Amino acid sequence: MDRLALKYEKLLGILAETDGAVIAFSGGVDSTLLLHAANEALGDKVTAASIATPYVPQWEQREAREFAKQIGVKHIVVDMDFPAELRMNPPKHCYTCKKILFSKLLEVARENALKHVLEGTNIDDLSDYRPGIKALRDLKIRSPFVEAELAKAEIRELSRRFNLPTWDKPSFACLLSRMPVDVEVTNEALQQVEQAEVFLMKIGFPAVRVRHHGEVARIEVPADRLQDFINANEINGINNKLKEIGYRHVALDLGGYTMGSLNKK
């Protein structure tokens, strides 16, 4: 048994010891492997729970539902309106958001007589700027990947070994990360961003961010794909499509995709 397989066995042991848990399930790389492992370790003592809000794209909610159904896990979707505390997109919106969302998931756990809420933070996340992690700690939410010392690349490799559909899925963050901080976020703006990103993903840019600056869409793709994007504009009419969606100006960021580029104004 190789080192990674041993880590996975450790993960299964951690999950089995919970004797029942709610998995915070977004449908992303981390939460999909966590749900897969929890299903293996806990069987019918696991419940997947997803939060549906205006700033979580419809396509990701759909993928989460489809995977939970595919593996036969009980799946609860909690519909939640846009929290008033997040409407102005405060600098620490990740902390506030996680506090609100995971408080809801703790309610789901209590209602289903489950002892724990588990989520997919991995050890690489601990060295990144992630204020949401503090909210998880404040609420005593457990992070089994951290306990098993699993990094992102290992999670992707395990996902590949188990033929999970997310093994090579690009990392994703909620749509609030596309908006400048301290600026009111409207549902219309969120819909614009989602429509624009869905279009760009469909024409071959799975790792894309449409940063919303009012009438301006500032598009980030990996730096090695800038020329591909310019070529795709000629073929697919990106500029015209995004103007149809509602933007007045469409700009390509020559710096390429940068995580958290709107954390500061």
Q: Which of 108, 131, 161 is the last residue of a domain?
A: 161
Residues 118 and 157 in one domain: yes
In a shared domain, residues 41 and 155: yes
> What is the pTM (predicted TM-score) of this model?
0.92
pLDDT in tens, 32-87: 999 999 999 999 999 999 999 999 999 999 999 999 999 999 999 999 999 999 99
H/E element, 92: none
Query: Residue 122: inside a domain, yes or no?
Result: yes
Mean pLDDT, to the nearest integer, of 106-114? 96
Using CA atoms, how far residue 123 sits from 2, 127, 180, 210, in Å, is 20, 8, 28, 28
Q: What is the CATH number of the domain that holds 9?
A: 3.40.50.620
| pLDDT reading at 1 higher than 80 | no
Q: Are residues 41 and 137 in the same domain?
A: yes
Distance CA 244, CA 132 (A): 35
Produce one character per residue of 118-127: b if its CB has 16 or more CB atoms within 10 Å, e if not. Answer: bbbbbbebee
Q: Does residue 11 sit in the same domain as residue 138? A: yes
Q: How far is CA 262 from the centre of its chain?
A: 17
Beta pairing, strands 46-52 & 74-79? parallel
User: Considering the domain boundaries, does residue 263 fall inside one?
Assistant: no
For the chain, the average pLDDT equals 95
Beta strand segments in 57-168, E: 74-79, 116-118
Query: Which structural domain, as residue segments, surrounds residue 190?
Result: 175-252
Same domain, 40 and 87: yes
Among 135, 161, 187, the domain boundary falls at 161
Residue 241 has pLDDT above 70, yes or no: yes
